[in-house]
Amino acid sequence: MKIYIAGAGAMGCRFGVQLSEAGNDVTLLDNWEAHIDAIKKDGLKVVGDEEKTVHLPIMKPTEAEGEGDLIILFTKAMQLRQMLQDIKPIVGSKTRVFCLLNGLGHEDVMKEYIPATNILMGVTVWTASLKEPGVVLMQGKGAINLQAIDASQEASGREVTDILNGAGLNATYDMDVIPSIWRKACVNGTMNSGCALLDCTIGELFASESGLKVVREIIHEFVSVGLAEGVTLDEDDITNYVMEISVKAAPHYPSMHQDLVKNHRLTEIDYLNGAVSEKAKRLGISTPYCQMMTQLIHTKEDIFGIK
């Protein structure tokens, strides 16, 4: 199976390694020169549960040749459009293009570039991080839920599920994946933005009574907007899910904290709380907490001079 990983940062590298070790023909596509150079020169170094070096082809998306059977998108949300534009030549009539980015609204962007019959949407709780260019930290286990957005493509979506499972990626074909995407967005929309703004761990945010009040208000706004859009969401279930994760991940700083506070990189806020507050405006729903979190994160980006 010819697989391209479009966006070979932390998650793209993890998936690339696992899929390649399962015998697939994997090529990494990325635009970060230092990362490309490091992997070309010394291979991709894996640290964490296992230590090894994996040799995978890596190139810029515009340099790729030959249609893929599967393209897995793992850019940050704000890089998605450019990546979809750049991979056009390697998307053939049978290429499945699978979006695993966190956040909301990606399906609409995908449809602007890719026929609906080729699109798979999904969500994952696998994790990874980059220690430096060419070095990926892979720890723990995860899971994936996915669905072909065109019902006629279920068999194709199930075939991709089998390929992912062949690589130990613990995938489930889901007959309605959208609620799971919203649920994960709600996890990110509470702890990522909260910890990035307050410069604290997940445990510290959730141990505060005031912090918990903010978390609950954000969940309520996500659920109100999701329900108004026809997504099946249950506020108690989502609250319990967010609370469970907050306990397991208590000592950690979430990725938005690392992006914004530690590395001074742009955040995905516009695709989390920002997406909810934009949808809410169109629906005539009030979402003051999501709107404020979005504005404050952008303020912090401005303070750090991040463009």
Query: 90 and 66 in contact (C-beta within 8 Å)?
Result: yes
User: What backbone torsions phi and psi does residue 237 show, to the nearest 5 degrees?
Assistant: -60, -45
Interactions with ligand NAD, residue window 246-265 (CB under 6 A): 255, 263
Residues 6+ apart with CB under 8 A from 297: 193, 196, 197, 256, 260, 267, 269, 273
Which residues participate in catalysis according to the annotation?
184
Q: Which listed residue (3, 4, 5, 10) binds ligand NAD by CB under 6 A?
A: 10
What type of residue sits at position 1?
M
Q: Is 130 in the site for ligand NAD (CB under 6 A)?
A: yes
Residues 43-82, mask of contacts with ligand NAD (x by CB under 6 A): -------------------------------xxxx-----
Q: Which listed residue (117, 127, 165, 239) binds ligand NAD by CB under 6 A?
A: 127
Our CA angle for 179, 159, 65, nearest 5°, is: 100
Q: Which stretch binds ligand NAD (CB under 6 A): 3-11, 61-69, 84-92, 198-206?
A: 3-11
Give the closest residue to 97 by CA, choosing from 24, 87, 154, 105: 87
How far separated are the first and last CA of the chain, in Å rounded?
Answer: 38
Interactions with ligand NAD, residue window 101-120 (CB under 6 A): 101-102
CB atoms within 10 A of CB 35: 22
* Of 11 and 26, CB closest to ligand NAD: 11
* Of 91 and 185, CB closest to ligand NAD: 185
Closest residue by beta carbon to ligand NAD: 9
Q: Is 169 in the site for ligand NAD (CB under 6 A)?
A: no
Within 167-234, residue ranges assigned H as helices are 178-187, 193-198, 202-207, 209-228
Q: Which stretch binds ligand NAD (CB under 6 A): 6-14, 44-52, 245-253, 285-293?
A: 6-14
